Amino acid sequence: EDHTLGNALRHVLNGNPAVELCGYSVPHPMERRVNVRVQTTGANGTTAQAAMRDALLDVISVCDHVHEAYEKAEEAYEKAGNKK
Confidence of residue 52 (pLDDT cuts 50, 70, 90): very high
10: three-class secondary structure by DSSP: helix
User: At residue 84, does pLDDT exceed 70?
Assistant: no
pTM score > 0.75 for this model?
yes
Number of CB atoms found within 10 A of residue 26's CB: 16
Number of CB atoms found within 10 A of residue 47's CB: 12
User: At residue 2, does pLDDT exceed 90?
Assistant: no
* Residue type, position 8, single letter: A
Pairwise CA distance, residues 56 & 80, whole Å: 36
pLDDT score at 32 = 87
Per cent of the chain over pLDDT 70 is 98
The mean predicted confidence, pLDDT, of the chain is 92
Q: Which helix (H) or strand (E) holds 36?
A: strand 35-40
45: three-class secondary structure by DSSP: helix
Which residue, among 59, 53, 45, has the nearest Cα to 11 in the 3D structure? 59
